[in-house]
Amino acid sequence: MTSQRTRLRMIERLRGLGIRDAAVLAAMAEVPRHVFVDEALASRAYEDISLPLGFGQTISSPHTVARMTELARNGRALDKVLEIGTGCGYQTAVLARLARQVYSMERIAALVRKVRRNLREAGVANVHLRHGDGHAGMPEVAPFDAIVMTAAAPRAPEALLGQLGAGGRMVLPVAGGNGQHLHVIELTAKGLVERRMDPVVFVPLLPGVG
């Protein structure tokens, strides 16, 4: 269940679900998702489902990871990417295949320790992890070509929007009265442009650290 053949079946399923970015599909074919889930769930690692991580967190389904990555990349080469909500590090590892440097923030210290092990096992070396409150982002290393937030909020945190570079995109789940939807916010020459996309389900973005 953790073989390359199983991973390639996942890629074919993602194509069937509408993922078109060849670079995103190639990155997901390379990242061993089973490394990032609990051993007891490894046999389900390549199913298109979210899985529990403990601490009230989940690893998103492969389709959700692919969709958010595709929207964030928008066909561009990426230099610096900021991720808010590292979780188990799977989305982080996919982004790391597509960007020169990934900066990732996680509020739960135990998950940060686990992610370091996961990324090492997956052979990922271009990720900078920080234990901290994601609302603040990392202004000292901004601007970013893309910001990917993996927890839902009523709106994008203003501090994060201020860390987008020209032409940069932020992808996040926004929670409203009609449920959660992915939103894409792009910094254009005329300012920020926001679009609502697919319905999703994410854990809430929480303040502080644990």
- Please pick, among 3, 43, 50, 60, the residue that the annotation labels catalytic: 60
Low-confidence ranges of the chain (pLDDT < 70): 1-2
By DSSP bridging, strand 164-176 and strand 179-188 are antiparallel
The answer to whether the beta carbons of residues 46 and 1 sit under 8 Å apart is yes
Domain ranges of the chain: 63-200
| pLDDT computed for residue 84 by the predictor | 98
| pLDDT computed for residue 2 by the predictor | 57
CATH topology of domain 63-200: Rossmann fold (3.40.50)
The 10s digit of each residue's pLDDT in 42-56 is 889 999 999 988 888
The answer to whether the beta carbons of residues 190 and 182 sit under 8 Å apart is no
50-to-57, 62, 88, 186 alpha-carbon distances in Å: 10, 8, 12, 27
| pLDDT computed for residue 57 by the predictor | 86
> How many whole angstroms separate alpha carbon 198 and alpha carbon 210?
30
The answer to whether the beta carbons of residues 173 and 200 sit under 8 Å apart is yes
Can you spell out the DSSP letters for 72-123? Answer: HHTT--EEEEEEE--TTSHHHHHHHTTEEEEEEEES-HHHHHHHHHHHHHTT
| pLDDT computed for residue 101 by the predictor | 98
Catalytic, 3? Answer no
Cis upstream peptide for 199 (omega within 30°) = no
